[in-house]
Structure formats: structure tokens, C-alpha cells
């Protein structure tokens, strides 16, 4: 039960731990794949390297979630990511940052929702969220060094 629900006694919030973790897994795996797509289109090797490093982090997070799902008796599905959005490097970097921010916000919401009922899951989500927070600067660096008016 979430903190607000416990404090104010509001109605029951639908709870589906496995469903939440499957959605988190899908978001992490899709972000990892899109970052690799973005890296393949990067004009400069240092940009491609940064994108691949970010993809490795997201892949690791997806692996942690896959392992947690396995402990809960569920197999993580194969993920078919959509194409990286954007017509140039700047647009793709902005889209990647926005996706990372949405993922991070969702993780924070889930930590509140599942704490204290699922301490192992909350700790996993906290670890992912903290690591995601440390990547924010890399996304911003990609955006600042990209030309929003360039054409691929």
C-alpha cells in the first residue's frame, strides 16, 4: 500500500507487483535497444561510445528485473523496441533523456507504492533509480553537444 493510502486511509489501490516489474523490464530493455540504435547512427565515435555505455547500464537494469521476475515465477518477455524517435542526433538525445526521466519517475512512484510491503523489490528499484540518476549528466552532455538543426 502506498504512503498516502496508509496515511489518509484512501481506497485500495490496485496492486500487481509482477505487472509493474514487467512494465519496468520492458521500459529498461526498450531504452537499451533504442540507445544502441542511436549509437549506430551517431556521427562521432565519442557520442556512440557514450550511448553504448548508457545502453549497457539499461541492459544491466533489465537483467536485474528479469532475475527478480524469475524469482517471482514469471519469465520476462522478448522486447521488440520501436525505432529511436527523432530526425537528428539532438532530437534522439532529447527523446532518450525524456524516456529516462519517465522511467525514473515511475520507479520512484513504485518504491513509494511497494514500501514497506516488498522490501527486496523496493531495494532493487532504488538501486536502478540511483544508477539512472547518475546517468542524467551524460544525457545532458549529449544534448548540449548536438546541433538541433542538423540533418542526418
> Where does the pLDDT of residue 11 fall: very low under 50, low under 70, confident under 90, or very high at 90 and above?
low
- Alpha-carbon separation of residue 135 from 31, 84, 104 (angstroms): 13, 19, 11
- Indicate if the pLDDT at residue 120 is higher than 90: yes
Q: Give the DSSP per-residue string, 82-103.
A: PPPP-SSHHHHHHHHHHHHHHH
Average pLDDT over residues 17-45: 96
Does domain 16-144 bear CATH number 1.20.1260.10? yes
The number of angstroms, rounded, from the C-alpha of 87 to the middle of its chain's C-alpha atoms is 22
Nearest to 21 by CA among 76, 60, 59, 58: 76
Sign of CA dihedral 24, 28, 34, 37: negative
d(CA 90, CA 124): 31
Sign of CA dihedral 100, 104, 109, 113: positive
> Where does the pLDDT of residue 41 fall: very low under 50, low under 70, confident under 90, or very high at 90 and above?
very high
Average pLDDT over residues 28-33: 97
The grid coordinates of residue 102 equal 519517465
> Where does the pLDDT of residue 3 fall: very low under 50, low under 70, confident under 90, or very high at 90 and above?
low
- Indicate if the pLDDT at residue 102 is higher than 60: yes
Domain ranges of the chain: 16-144
Average pLDDT over residues 127-145: 97
Contact 142/51 with Cβ under 8 angstroms? yes
> Where does the pLDDT of residue 96 fall: very low under 50, low under 70, confident under 90, or very high at 90 and above?
very high
7 vs 15, residue with greater confidence: 15
d(CA 89, CA 31): 16
Amino acid at each position: 500500500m502506498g504512503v498516502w493510502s496508509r496515511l489518509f486511509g484512501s481506497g485500495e489501490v490496485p496492486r500487481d507487483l509482477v505487472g509493474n516489474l514487467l512494465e519496468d523490464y520492458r521500459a529498461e530493455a526498450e531504452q537499451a535497444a533504442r540507445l544502441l540504435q542511436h549509437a549506430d547512427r551517431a556521427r562521432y565515435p565519442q557520442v556512440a561510445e557514450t550511448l553504448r555505455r548508457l545502453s549497457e547500464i539499461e541492459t544491466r537494469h533489465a537483467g536485474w528485473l528479469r532475475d527478480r521476475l524469475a524469482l517471482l515465477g514469471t519469465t520476462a518477455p522478448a522486447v521488440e523496441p520501436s525505432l529511436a524517435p527523432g530526425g537528428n542526433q539532438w532530437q534522439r538525445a532529447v527523446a532518450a533523456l525524456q524516456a529516462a526521466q519517465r522511467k525514473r519517475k515511475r520507479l520512484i512512484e513504485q518504491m513509494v507504492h511497494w514500501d514497506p510491503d516488498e522490501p527486496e523489490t523496493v531495494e532493487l528499484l532504488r538501486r536502478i533509480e540511483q544508477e539512472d540518476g547518475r546517468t542524467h549528466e551524460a544525457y545532458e552532455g549529449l544534448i548540449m553537444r548536438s546541433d538541433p538543426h542538423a540533418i542526418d
